Amino acid sequence: MVSQFVLDAVVYASLFGLMAVGLTLTYLTTKVPNFAYGSFVTIGSYTSFSVFRIYHLDPYVFAAPLAFFVGALVSVAMYLGVLRTLARRGSSLVALMISTLAIDIAFVGVFGIYSDFLTSHYGIVDSKNFFRLLADFSLFGLPGVFYISPISLAAITIGLFFFLTRTKFGVAMRASVENPSLARVLGIDVERAYVFAWFLAGGFAATAGSFSALWLQGGTTVGSELIVEIFAASVLGGLASIYGAAVGGLIIGASEILLTQAGIAVFGSWISIYQKGFPLLIMVITLLLFPRGLVSIKWGRIFGTVVSFFDSLADRLSDIFRFGRGK
Amino acid sequence: MTAYALYLVVSLSLNLEAGFAGVPNFGKVMFVAAGAAVAGSVSGRLAAIILNVNTHGNYNGFIAQIITQLDSSLSTNAVLSIEILLLGILLAAIIGATLGFVTSFPAIRLREDYLGMLLLAAAQLFQIFLGGYEPLIGGTQGIEVPDLFAWAGNGIEIRDVVVLGFLAVFAGVVYFYAERVARSPLGRTLRAIRDNEMAARALGKNDVAMRRNVIIVASAISAMAGALLTFYVGAVNAEAWTRITWTFWIWVMVIIGGAANNAGVALGAFSFTFLFKIVDQVKFYFQGSIPFDVNWLEYLLFASLLIVILAFRPGGILPEKSSVTLPWRTVAEIMRPKSEPPPSLGPRSDVRQLPKAVRTDESSPATPP
């Protein structure tokens, strides 16, 4: 039997991986940290909630695709309606950042209205703050989200890899991220690539959100609270690499659960309050030590150093050994 | 009005950081809350020790009992009340400055976007800490704070007037200070650093130290505002300090009014408070007719207001003014070598033309040649 916190760690890690991939996509295209990103998770979570509680449909078959499209469309609307409009009017980076914060606040308002609507229209009283939905199937005694969320993270990462390297549009998208003006000269529709990136990003977050409703608590501010971890994951991944973000999400999600468990074991249960402190700590360490994230570390060189160290150690040892034997 | 004074103080301090120094502080709530928490936590304990009130070794546990005793003693002891009040504010300022100092380490190293994320995350964590760490201010339950204005009279109106006067003086001092900074060479240097860090550094300005100092001062000011709010309300709890109330609203004020313009920020804070009050008054008329809580509309309203302002009037109501420099004539006077005769008598026509040409647009800001 898998213990509870391993379950937690796996689900958490894959959900954050999904979210971080999306956030990195939006950062790559607009170079603005999207503070409203957490709200797309909430969109997904509410989609699952409504689909399950009102129509009693299976969240995987119905809610997840629906969440993907709702999140994706809202994300595109946000990009076209606010960010691109502001950017074309020459807004500064800080102005764009504060506008995403404004959108996040507006989202909280929209979720509040929606949850009140659920309460008054469908008589769902826990719509503002609900516990995990009891809609999950179970396989070999483990909840379905334990399988589905890592699988979808893997599928999305591999899918993105093939999309970005094997398809023409994907290559064009990479080009428009790396050098927009050069890509434009070559006749690539940069705007279309950006819109598509935002489409995917919103979709990933909402999908992750629709899974998270089966595992975590839901509510109007759940996304705004998750944003800390999502940023931490993206920063750890280097904010410039989709695969880095996936790995960063896995590390943040897993370490948050495992470090908290370890902390409880060592210091006592009071440390569980500061669960969210661990991602922040990792983020601070990342920014101070290697601000460009995991992808910037030259693993080959570290590996090479270690290998050559052991080589020289072996040489030294064999010298000593031969010396001893020669006498 | 009290809300206006406090909002004004905090938005002015944000203006110092974000408007003048270009440090996007998305974690403002952390500093305000830190001041409030420290003031709320320490002042009561201190008063209990001085007035010899039995805390049974558990201050938060017996809070209601202790506060009642403290209030009755403090209401007759104006001097002690004011002493504790000032001490609380001072302590808040110290804590705020310390936090600001810690913040300045990433702030002078990171780019704006990374810094924004980090501060937002740190503020979120600080809020969790306040909510979770019960010995300080009782977590989300909150604790009461002794009424340090009780000496002002029994009637609630008299107390309010005294508090308002106190806050008005405080806000006035902060405004005066911010305006002095803005008009001083320091203010111009800060703007230079904000606009072109490399050029400012090349001209020998210590951008790192200046940014750090601005963050420390601004954080101390916001912590003091937090402490004052705690003393005014008479209670403190962790739930009141959210990203919306003390980060986002403050940013709205600065952006509406006009960043890097103190008068604009004062106007922005005023319009925001005014609008907020109107919305507060009006919204109850709608309460029955729409099927949801009208408070949510407030979020939507101010969020869209901010985006509209950013899109159509990015400088705010009163945009940043160019620096006020010396008038041309004075500059020409200073620049003229002592030995040379006055320009009007000199043989060189170009020098003579100089003051004349400028006299026509003397009101507009000018830069030295």
- Condensed to tens digits (0 to 9), the pLDDT of residues B38-47 reads 888 888 778 8
| Number of Cβ pairs < 8 A linking chain A and chain B | 142
Say whether B129 and A274 touch across the interface (CB within 8 A). yes
Q: What number of residues does chain A have?
A: 327
Q: What is the rounded average pLDDT of the residues B106-114?
A: 77
Q: How many Cα atoms occupy the beta-carbon half-sphere of B285 within 13 Å?
A: 4
Q: Quick check: helix, strand or coil at residue A14?
A: helix
- At residue B354, the pLDDT reads 46
Nearest C-alpha in A relative to B250: A98
Helix axes B28-50, B207-233, angle to 10 degrees: 50
Say whether A99 and B307 touch across the interface (CB within 8 A). yes
- At residue A138, the pLDDT reads 66
In this predicted structure, the answer to whether residue B152 has a pLDDT above a threshold of 70 is no
Q: Which residue has the higher pLDDT, A76 or B324?
A: A76
Window A:13-42, CB contacts with B under 8 Å: 31-33, 35
CA distance A73 to chain B (A): 19
Torsion of CA A223, A224, A225, A226, to 10 degrees: 50
Nearest C-alpha in B relative to A109: B296
- At residue B353, the pLDDT reads 46
Say whether A106 and B293 touch across the interface (CB within 8 A). no
Cβ-based contacts of B110 with chain A (< 8 Å): 287, 291
- At residue B361, the pLDDT reads 45
Residue B135 at interface with chain A, using a CB cutoff of 8 Å:
no
In DSSP terms, A130 is beta-bridged to A218
Q: Which residue has the higher pLDDT, B35 or B56?
A: B35
- At residue A133, the pLDDT reads 67
CA distance B90 to chain A (A): 29
Residue B160 at interface with chain A, using a CB cutoff of 8 Å:
no
- At residue B141, the pLDDT reads 67
**Pick among A39, A128, A228 to test the B interface (most B CBs inside 10 A):** A228
CA distance B51 to chain A (A): 33
Q: What is the DSSP letter of A256?
A: H
Residue B156 at interface with chain A, using a CB cutoff of 8 Å:
no
Residue A23 and residue A49: Cα distance in Å, rounded? 23
In this predicted structure, the answer to whether residue B369 has a pLDDT above a threshold of 60 is no
Q: b/e map of A25-43 (b: 16 or more CB within 10 Å)? A: bbbbbbebbbbbbbbbbbb
Q: Which residue has the higher pLDDT, B77 or A246?
A: A246
Residue B116 at interface with chain A, using a CB cutoff of 8 Å:
yes
pLDDT one-digit tens code per residue, B155-202: 566 777 888 888 888 888 888 888 888 888 888 888 888 888 888 888
Decide if A190 contacts A183 (C-beta within 8 A). Answer: yes
Torsion of CA A249, A253, A259, A261, to 10 degrees: -170
- At residue A267, the pLDDT reads 76
In DSSP terms, A219 is beta-bridged to A129
Token pair of A63 as six digits: 């809610």
Cβ-based contacts of A224 with chain B (< 8 Å): 243
Give the closest of B18, B128, B302 to A276, CB-based: B128
* Closest of B15, B18, B5 to residue B264, by C-alpha: B15
Of A64-68, B77-81, B225-229, minimum mean pLDDT range: B77-81
Residue B244 at interface with chain A, using a CB cutoff of 8 Å:
yes
Say whether A113 and B311 touch across the interface (CB within 8 A). no
- At residue B351, the pLDDT reads 45
**pLDDT (tens digit, 0 to 9) for every residue of chain A, 327 residues total?**
567 777 778 888 888 888 888 888 888 888 888 888 888 888 888 888 888 887 777 777 778 888 888 888 888 888 888 888 888 887 788 888 888 888 888 888 888 888 888 887 777 777 777 777 666 666 676 776 777 778 888 888 888 888 888 888 888 888 888 888 888 888 888 888 888 888 988 888 888 888 888 777 777 777 777 888 888 888 888 777 788 888 888 888 888 888 887 877 777 777 777 777 788 888 877 877 777 777 667 777 777 777 787 788 877 777 776 665 554
pLDDT one-digit tens code per residue, A177-209: 888 888 888 888 888 888 888 898 888 888 888
Residue B122 at interface with chain A, using a CB cutoff of 8 Å:
yes
**Pick among B26, B133, B239, B243 to test the A interface (most A CBs inside 10 A):** B243
CA distance A28 to chain B (A): 13
Alpha helices (H) along chain B: 2-14, 28-50, 63-74, 78-107, 112-132, 134-137, 156-183, 185-195, 197-202, 207-233, 243, 249-257, 262-286, 295-312, 328-335, 349-359
Q: How many CB atoms lie within 10 A of CB B158?
A: 12
CA distance A204 to chain B (A): 21
Window A:75-134, CB contacts with B under 8 Å: 82, 85-86, 89-91, 93-95, 97-99, 101-103, 105-106, 108-110, 112-113, 116-117, 120-121
The strand pair at A138-139 and B143-144 is best described as unpaired
Give the closest of A91, A94, A108 to B112, CB-based: A94
CA distance B299 to chain A (A): 5
- At residue A139, the pLDDT reads 66
- CA max distance for chain A: 94
- At residue A327, the pLDDT reads 45
CA distance B335 to chain A (A): 38
CA distance A80 to chain B (A): 13
Token pair of B226 as six digits: 């937090």
Say whether A105 and B120 touch across the interface (CB within 8 A). no
In this predicted structure, the answer to whether residue B259 has a pLDDT above a threshold of 60 is yes
Cβ-based contacts of B295 with chain A (< 8 Å): 112
Model pTM score: 0.79
Say whether B112 and A98 touch across the interface (CB within 8 A). no
CA distance A144 to chain B (A): 31
Cβ-based contacts of B131 with chain A (< 8 Å): 273
Decide if B323 contacts B188 (C-beta within 8 A). Answer: yes
Here the contacts of A56-63 (C-beta below 8 Å, separation 24 or greater) are A58/A135, A59/A133, A59/A135, A59/A136, A59/A210, A59/A213, A59/A214, A60/A137, A60/A144, A60/A148, A63/A210, A63/A213
What radius of gyration, in Å, describes the C-alpha atoms of chain B? 25
Say whether A276 and B124 touch across the interface (CB within 8 A). yes
Give the closest of A33, A110, A121 to B113, CB-based: A33
Give the closest of A93, A113, A291 to B296, CB-based: A113
Q: What is the DSSP letter of A293?
A: -
In this predicted structure, the answer to whether residue B20 has a pLDDT above a threshold of 50 is yes
Residue A4 and residue B88: Cα distance in Å, rounded? 46
Window A:222-281, CB contacts with B under 8 Å: 224-225, 227-228, 231-232, 235, 270, 273-274, 276-277, 279-280
Say whether B310 and A228 touch across the interface (CB within 8 A). no
Query: Phi and psi (nearest 5°) for A280?
Result: -65, -45
